[in-house]
Structure 1
């Protein structure tokens, strides 16, 4: 059970928190940690028929708290969020509509901004909402490059990715930067909305890195998102993709889920960007960890491509986790071990 070191959480236990995209990797851990902390959760999903595993799973894990699943299949529909936010004490916005491949960032922004604004406005109009957390991306701050020593601050933006995407660079030169630029510009727009509208709720953003760790229901939820990349490495699949990804930072699933709780309930957390970056990683290093865990398995050997040198602003997030009783960040080794337990059969 989560035990805050402070006496009066800003949101009382027993309150209901809305989590959007609740069936996803990050969001499901936010749900889990909120229920563990004694909160009820209303989770939105696009298709409830594909998420019937959720209520039984979380009821077994946290029988004293309640999870309600509601359908929001069209984020842009008029009034889509009004019923979802009704009566909740806080909103954790995790759902997004854009994948890693962004052919046209302006078109994607035109599609994504209106429904994010509708969610923010619905929260502003609901008097019960005391806190709002928006999920951004580490890549809204910087482009990983292990050859450079970079110092990031809380308010560093990936302006370089925006500049390159707006230039006449070739698609090959742009690479994955359109996604980075999209996440940068979207988060900046949301912060502009907060400054302009000045809602009464606390507002913070969380910027996860590559998320690795425990998967809550491997059988029904699957080994999804970036945890699936660990499974690919174990099985020797999609190695060309993994070899293209530079050394950077990892966010542990449970650390990240707990940070949402901490940002919601810790007094004084407002208008901050929070970085749940728990440890450095590279795919060659993850391959070494898997080989150590499973020496009988033929794990691919990837060429060592260095180690990230970035100085990152993750101390504030670690401080918030300690405020809920956790003793610092989870190590890369423990994150990989927890992830592998979901797909390696004894």
Structure 2
């Protein structure tokens, strides 16, 4: 069942890196959006997209304060909406084990139950590649075998377990509600630029490493002292992730496979990324990380999901993926723009000094 372009979509985690791209593309496509955020982020979120509101349609975008996605009343937020995009999640290291588990598991179930009560059948959930076992298979009944005991070891494992359990609970929900069309997108490492200026300037008015999310690993490439790399290879551009969510909303086809891996069919190389930046931005060469210490092409051998992505790219994604070069260049161009904006306000910009997570 397709959601019409003039419909209203509820987006959780709308102020985040992925969520803001989903909101931006929805608005550009013609949808109306209610975006959920918490606390001071609500003000910034409304400021970011307020220009989409007009005299004729003053509620084209509305930021809504949802203090706790696992328990807050969503009745008003979902009233009249035709679709839900559930992006909100605690990232590794952002919260303790119990809070992370509660947010992921209870949050997902609460959103689904609330959507069902509101009569909304089209749901798109942002999941993660880590819910699958590696090196695969990548099917609905293939799961990361992580246990709760292992989840308490460190924040990475906690995140893996929380996302896996949340997706399992959501799939169980669909069994008792077959009328609901629910799809999960399971992206690899998500990189890419922030939403375009001036929207990004309103959304992130001051330096905030946490606001960069996983793309902070690309920002770290312009720190000569950088020693932080993602623990595993693989990537997908955030704009392609958001585009996949929109395609799912507009599709009349109910996919027989609900859990879809999103992964660019191209190996990642941080060494190549630094070489790309050397050529594209010669003015920041002195800021670049040491490419001789960066993971290179050898990572392709470790990327167990890459072969699957390359084999299935034509059947699962008929359009062109953004490649590594475009992703890296556009990310740094976006972040250099943010640095210029922050400095213009008299704010101190220290760059990426620590690991994003």
Quickly name the TM-score band, shorter chain normalised: 0.7 to 0.9
Query: Pairwise CA RMSD of aligned residues?
Result: 3.1
Give me the whole-angstrom Cα distance separating, in 2, the residues matched to 1:292 and 1:22.
Answer: 34
> Structure 1 residue runs of 4+, over 4 Å off?
57-60, 102-107, 313-321
Match of 1:224 among 212, 231, 237: 212
C-alpha contact (below 8 Å) 2:174/2:180 kept by paired residues: no
Give me the whole-angstrom Cα distance separating, in 1, the residues matched to 2:310 and 2:67.
Answer: 34
TM-aligned CA distance change 1:139 to 1:28, over 3 Å: same
Please name the residue that 1:3 is paired with.
none
User: In the alignment, does 2:2 pair up with 1:14?
Assistant: no
Q: TM-score, normalised by structure 2?
A: 0.77
Please name the residue that 1:72 is paired with.
66
User: In the alignment, does 2:135 pair up with 1:135?
Assistant: no
User: In the alignment, does 2:238 pair up with 1:256?
Assistant: no
Please name the residue that 1:91 is paired with.
84
- Three-state SS of the structure 1 residue aligned to 2:68 is coil
5 Å-filtered alignment, 1:106-125, equals: 108-110=100-102, 112-125=104-117
Please name the residue that 2:74 is paired with.
81
Per-residue CA shift, 1:186-244, capped at 9, x if unaligned? 2112212222x22522110011222112211443334611222212221335x2332xx
Give me the whole-angstrom Cα distance separating, in 1, the residues matched to 2:33 and 2:314.
Answer: 24
Please name the residue that 1:188 is paired with.
168
User: In the alignment, does 2:233 pair up with 1:233?
Assistant: no
Unmatched segments (≥5 aa) in structure 1: 1-8, 144-149
Per-residue CA shift, 1:158-201, capped at 9, x if unaligned? 21xx15x635x994xx6722321222122112212222x22522
Structure number with the higher helix fraction is 2
Give me the whole-angstrom Cα distance separating, in 1, the residues matched to 2:95 and 2:50.
Answer: 39
Match of 1:300 among 289, 294, 301: 289
* Shift, 1:50, TM fit: 3.2
* Shift, 1:125, TM fit: 1.2
C-alpha contact (below 8 Å) 1:275/1:314 kept by paired residues: no
* Shift, 1:34, TM fit: 1.6
- Three-state SS of the structure 1 residue aligned to 2:241 is helix
* Shift, 1:59, TM fit: 5.4
Q: TM-score, normalised by structure 1?
A: 0.79
Give me the whole-angstrom Cα distance separating, in 2, the residues matched to 1:38 and 1:333.
Answer: 30
Please name the residue that 1:5 is paired with.
none
